Structure 1
Amino acid sequence: MGDYRGVNDMQEATSPSSGQAQPDARPGAAGSSADAPVKPVIPAAAAKRANASVIGMIIALVLSIAAFLPVVLMNPQPKGEGYRPDVDVASVARNAADVAGFTPVAPDTGNAFRANYARWEAGTGNGVPRWEVGYVTPKTSFIGLVQTKNANPTWLLQQTKNAPVTGSRNAGGQEWELRDTGKGEKSMVLNYRGSTVVLSGAAQLDEFATLAAAVVGSLESNPTVTVSPSAAPTP
C-alpha cells in the first residue's frame, strides 16, 4: 500500500497541469506578432523638418540659376559658323608682289566668297614659289587658289591630286582645264598672261565658275607676268 501511494505521488509530480501548458503557447503567439509588418510612424515634427529641407534646396537652386543667368546672357556663345578671320587679300597680294616678281591675283567676289588665309610661299620644298589663298564658298565648301609662274607637270599633278583631265569649262571668257578625281575633289587649271592658276576643292562647279571668272578679271587688271629664261617651267 505504501508503494502505491508513492507511485501516485510521482505521477502527480510529473504530470503536466493545465496551468503549466499556458507558458508553452506564449512563444507561438509572440512569433505570429513578429511576422506582422511594422509600419514606421514619422512624427509630425520630423516630417515638417524634412519638407522644410526640400523646399530650402529648391529655393537655393532657383537663386543659383537666377544669379548665373545674367552672366550667360551677357556672354553669348559663338554662332555655328565659328570664327571668321578678316583677311584682306588685295592688301596681302600687294605686299607679296615685290617678293613674287608679279602681282598676285586678288579676285573680287564681293561678299560671296570669304578668304580665310592669303600668303606667299617661297617653295623651298618643291622649288615652286607660289601665291595661295583659301576661300570659303557661299555654300560653306572650300576652294583653294594657287598661282605661280614656275609651274611644271610634276607640281601640277601634285596640286590636282593626280586627277585626270575630264574636260574644260568656260569662266570669265577663258577655257579652264577641268580635272576630277571622281571622289568629290576637283580642280580647274588656267595658263594665262604668264602664270598658272589652279583652283582645287570639293565645291560645286557653279561656285568654281564664279571664283574662276573673278580670277580672270584680276589677271586682266594686272600686268602680264614675264617669265625669265632661268625661271622657265621644267618637267
Structure 2
Amino acid sequence: MADNRNASLGDMLRSILVIGVLVLGLAAVGYWFQVKPDNTVEAVDYVTAAEEARGDAAFDVLAPSSLPNGWKATTVRYESGDRGQWHLGVLTDQDEYIGLEQTGIGTQRAIQRFAPKTEATGKATVGGQSWQVRQSSRGENTLVREDGDTTIIVTGTADLATIKDYAETLRAG
C-alpha cells in the first residue's frame, strides 16, 4: 500500500509540474506577441479654437503660435462671459502634461481649482512678465500671474524649465 500512495503523490506532482510548465509557456507566448498600442490621445486644433475664442473673450486669449515637434494639443475649452475661461492642454514629446488656464474667477480660486496642493516657492520672469512659481509635493510645477481681472496659470507635470519655455511662447494673437 505504501507504493500506491507514493505513486499517487508522484503522479500528482508530475501533473502539477506539467500544468505549471504549460501555464508559463502560454504566458511567455502571450507576452511575446502582445500588441502595444501607440499613444491613442488624439490631437485637437487649438489654433482655430483660440481664434474663435479671441473673437468673443473679454480678455486676451493666449496660445502658442505653434508647438514644438512631437508636442500635441489634447484639450481645448472656452467658456464665455465676464468670468469666462480658456483652457489649452498639451502633451510634450516626453508625454508630460502642461495646461494653460485663463479665468476671471480670481487668483486664489483659480489656484485652488487648477493647481491645488501647490505651494508658492518664488518668483520668475518669463517673457518679460513676473510670475509666481508654485510646486506640489507630487512634482507638479506651476506659474501664476494676473493680467487685469484675468488669472493666467500654466501648470503641469513637465519640469519647471519646460513650463517656463512654454509660457514664453504664449501670445494674444
2 CA distance for matches of 1:110 and 1:144? Answer: 13
Residues 126-141 of structure 1: pairs in structure 2 closer than 5 A: 128-141=83-96
Aligned to 2:126: 171
1:190 and 1:114 map into 2 onto residues whose CA distance is: 24
Q: Distance in 2 between matches of 1:141 and 1:102?
A: 28
Per the TM alignment, residue 88 of structure 1 is displaced from its structure 2 partner at its CA by 2.3
Higher relative contact order (CA 8 A, sep 6+): 2
Q: Is the 8 A contact 1:93 1:103 kept in 2?
A: no
User: Which structure has greater helix proportion?
Assistant: 1
Q: How big is each residue's C-alpha offset from its partner over 1:172-191, in whole Å with a ceiling of 9 and x where there is no partner? A: 12222111112112211122
Q: CA deviation at 1:121?
A: 3.0
What is the aligned residue count? Answer: 138
Q: 2:150: which partner in 1?
A: 195
| TM-score normalized with structure 1 length | 0.51
Identity of aligned residues (%): 25
Q: Is the 8 A contact 2:124 2:131 kept in 1?
A: yes
AA matched with 1:108: S
Maintained 8 Å contact 2:103/2:110: no
Query: What is the TM-score when the length of structure 2 is the normalising length?
Result: 0.67
Structure 1 residue runs of 5 or longer lacking an equivalent are 1-76, 223-235
- Mapping of 1:110-121 within 5 angstroms? 110-112=67-69, 113-121=71-79
Distance 2:131 2:116 in 1: 17
Q: Structure 2: where are the runs of 5+ without partners?
A: 1-34
C-alpha RMSD over aligned residues:
2.6
Q: Which amino acid aligns with 1:92?
A: A
Q: CA deviation at 1:122?
A: 5.1
Judging changes above 3 Å, is the alpha-carbon distance between structure 1 residues 128 and 174 closer, same or farther for their aligned structure 2 residues? same
1:134 Cα shift? 0.4
- Taking structure 1 as reference, are residues 143 and 157 closer, same or farther at Cα in structure 2, changes over 3 Å only? same
Q: Find 1:95's aligned residue among 43, 52, 66.
A: 52
Map of 1:208 onto structure 2: 163
